[in-house]
Amino acid sequence: MSKVMSEENNTETVQSLVKGLAVIKAFSQQRPSMTLSEVASVTGFTRAATRRFLLTLVAEGYAKHNGKQFSLTAKILDLGFSYLSSLDIWHNAKPLMNALVEQLNESCSAAVLDGFDVVYVARVATTKRIMSITLNVGTRLPAFATSMGRILLADMSASLLDEFLNNCSTEQFTQYTITDKTRLITEIAKVKQQGYCLVEQELELGLTSISVPVHNGEGEVIAALNVSTHMSQTARQQIFETILPALQQCARQVERLG
């Protein structure tokens, strides 16, 4: 990128908005409530600037404070749902996903890539509990260790994938988690060739997930669709003979909605 283009981009960036978003993202599952000083420490902003951002969020209803502790409110979900509500395809896909779940008695989800994570944009669950964490629309999981993530990474160019893997944090979730960059590149190349991805017990012991891509009218991969199950409940043969064909058919039906 040229220096001129970089300078133009800088002049078009509203730094106060960038910083305000950084304050919002400072809160997490590990940090649901923080003092002003803690938010300033996480963001690297001055206490004065942090105070202005926090009080603005409180005034607009996106945050609240109890004594010295600040936390986000449910209104913050409006920001995410504004995006999700613009994706008519997933609203319209719910009946198809429901039918798949009824057919297989397994949960079905759809996700897109955001940074180093996959973000759930649609989900239909069974009564089975397949993970220790609750999965909902908006849930984020590490792309490198998930079947939906690898489907989306397989659509990247070699240079972008290389940059992604060089910068992402590859945590060892289980003894089966692939964290070696060379092995990940090999696995993702295999996914690209075969058109589906099976991940077994890499994110959580006992959890198996199979995913396929969802394309738009131009043939670009816009999302991944998956079915997750417990390996103890579903034989590997059944995954390929029953689940994968049904999942691929559902993905084709979703694509026609676009």
What pLDDT was estimated at residue 216?
82
Domain boundary among 54, 75, 96: 75
Domain boundary among 75, 104, 123: 75
83-138 pLDDT, tens digit per residue, is: 554 456 777 888 999 999 999 888 899 998 888 888 888 888 887 655 556 677 87
Does any domain span residue 16? yes
The CA distance from 150 to 138, in Å, is 18
What's this model's pTM, rounded to 2 decimal places? Answer: 0.67
| Percent composition of the chain: helix, strand, coil (DSSP 3-state, to 5) | 50, 20, 30
Orientation of helix 15-26 relative to helix 47-59, angle to 10°: 80
Total domains, the chain? 2
What pLDDT was estimated at residue 163?
85
- Same structural domain, 160 and 197: yes
pLDDT tier for residue 22 given thresholds of 50, 70 and 90: very high
Give the structural domain span for 183.
Answer: 87-257
Q: By C-alpha distance, which of 158, 133, 157, 159 is closest to 146?
A: 133
- Same structural domain, 22 and 116: no
- Same structural domain, 113 and 38: no
- Same structural domain, 170 and 57: no
Distances (CA, A) of 146 to 4, 29, 53, 119, 180: 39, 20, 35, 11, 15
- Same structural domain, 26 and 127: no
CATH number, residue 198: 3.30.450.40
Does any domain span residue 81? no
The CA distance from 135 to 6, in Å, is 39
